[in-house]
Amino acid sequence: MEFLKQIFIIVTCLNITCSASAIHIIGADITYKNTGINKYEITIKMYRDCSGVPISSPSSNIICAATKSQITTFTPSEIAVRDITPTCGRAGKPCNPLNTTSDKGIEEHTYSYTYDFTAVIKTGCCQVLIGTGGCCRSDNITTGASGQKIWVSAFLNLCLSKPNNSPIFYDVPKAMFNCNQPVYFNIEAHDSIDNDSLVYEMVDPMQDWTQKTTWIGDKSKNMPLSVYCIGPCIPAIPQNKPPQGFYLDSSTGDVIFTPTNCNESSIISIKISEYRKYPNGEYVIAGYVSRDYEARVAMMINIPTKPIITVSGNTLYSNYKSGNQWYQGIYKIIGATTHYYTPSKTGAYSVNHTDSNGCITSMSDPFNFLASNSKIKTFGLKIYPNPVSECLKIECSEFGKFQLHLFDFTGKLIKKESFIGNHYEWLPHLNKGVYNLKISNEKGEIESVVINYI
């Protein structure tokens, strides 16, 4: 399926003719940063379908949140443009040249504007809304908003004793998804300056301050795509294999679902609110930002296979040397992106892989890890193979008498055995799962190893 198509349409937005040829705006977001007393730098990013006509600075304005009265309109300056085309599975190819009508691809246009709110605060308005947008959304959208305007907004609380800085998006929108494959990603919004608490929520895509986009059929802000479900899709079951429903974690920004319509394009619109805690324990909203973008589902080719987890000692290994992201349950482990991970807690661990083309694999099969709290001493123990399906071979550097105790995931003793010597082959006849094998010698020394029985 062609990733993007050139189209020519005539639309009217709010009784104003938008364009004789569709601009193909496929997403936008807005953030801000305090740069001085009552001064804020506003950053706007517009995401453009390269098969549409070039875009220019978006129409933007600021209003008082309480009265909805207009404070100012402004035209931000473009400071950067770059190609962000996902090349996974031949989904697209770079826009060339930039900001021209070319082949399939996606561009990120970054705009900036600085505003001094001193005069605004003197009028008694200390909570403001910043909005921006334009015409028009792509006609590739199949869920109702084709050709409609796009509008995103941010809220800034100027009443706070300490100036607020909004969360920043650390990654571009995830715009392409492989049909019938589980999707796991994070919004990647962080407030690294103020460290305020963030809350994520799905919101209605907008055309202006008050007008929402339309939906077709059963699609909605909370169910923007056709996803895998058995029975009701709500509530979502993200831990299901494959994930069921459309899930957004309100505290972490993790998004999990399994798209099932291989020719679907829709809108994902997310608001990130930040709350500041004061010494008296009260939480006050400091602001919010939003991101709105078109998400496309297709059958992509050349997707790398899902990772395979192996274990050595108490360390888990992915078969991919780079591009890994480790999870505990459904939650991403921040910073765990290397070839290996050493868990400190009992739980189910998994990993996915992103290759050099931006292709993201399905999640690996979970590895149920059993953490050991024993005081471990070594006496040259070697246990193999691990994972094991039949006979477990045990070798020790010392000759002696050894006791074997095998515990299940809950800590229940399943089997015990003993042997004399420095080599032993054990066929424990276990069900598939993860076990903790503890071996002790006559000196009272204990060594603990996690065994994966497959």
pLDDT (mean) for 57-74: 96
Which pLDDT value is given to residue 51?
83
State the residue for tokens 């024993």.
374
Q: What is the pLDDT of residue 447?
A: 75
Give mean pLDDT, residues 382-396. Answer: 83
Q: Is the pLDDT of residue 336 over 90?
A: yes
Rounded average pLDDT over 86-114: 76
Instruction: Using alpha carbons, select from 272, 50, 48, 263 the residue that is nearest to residue 177.
Output: 263
Tell me: pLDDT of 22 over 70. no
d(CA 108, CA 90): 19
Top mean pLDDT of 13-27, 103-117, 389-403 is at 103-117
pLDDT of residue 295: 92
Does CATH place domain 382-453 in 2.60.40.3080? yes
How many Cα atoms are found within 13 Å in the side-chain-facing hemisphere of 345?
Answer: 7
Overall average pLDDT of the 368-396 stretch: 71
CB 39, CB 114: distance < 8 Å: yes
Long-range contacts of residues 39-43, Cβ cutoff 8 Å, at least 24 apart: 39/114, 39/115, 39/116, 39/117, 40/114, 40/115, 40/117, 40/156, 41/112, 41/113, 41/114, 42/76, 42/112, 42/113, 42/114, 42/115, 42/130, 42/154, 43/110, 43/111, 43/112
Q: Are 148 and 278 in contact (CB under 8 A)?
A: no
pLDDT for res 85: 80
Instruction: Name which residue leads in pLDDT, 87 or 73.
Output: 73
Looking at residue 3, what is its pLDDT?
Answer: 32
Whether pLDDT at 6 is above 80: no
Residue written as tokens 């709350």?
Answer: 275
How much of the chain, in percent, has pLDDT values that exceed 90?
48
| Burial environment of residue 423 by CB neighbours within 10 A (0 to 12, 13 to 18, 19 or more) | exposed
**Parallel, antiparallel or unpaired: strands 168-169 and 189-190:** antiparallel
* pLDDT computed for residue 15 by the predictor: 31
Question: Per mean pLDDT, which range of 148-162, 252-266, 348-362 is the poorest?
Answer: 348-362
Global confidence as pTM:
0.69
State mean pLDDT over 355-364. Answer: 78
Q: How far apart (Å, rounded) are the C-alpha atoms in residues 140 and 171?
A: 23
pLDDT at 87: 65
Q: In the chain, where does the domain assigned CATH 2.60.40.3080 lie?
A: 382-453
Check whether 190 has a pLDDT greater than 60.
Answer: yes
Percent of the chain, pLDDT > 70? 87
CB 110 within 8 A of CB 81: yes
pLDDT, position 118: 97
Please name every residue paired with 367 in a beta bridge, in sequence order, or none if there are none: 349
Give residue-wise pLDDT tens across range 258-306. 999 999 999 999 999 999 988 888 899 999 999 999 999 987 656 678 8
**Three-state SS for 425?**
strand
Q: What is the pLDDT of residue 185?
A: 87
Considering the chain, what is the average pLDDT of its residues? 85
Kindly state the average pLDDT of the residues 185-212: 94
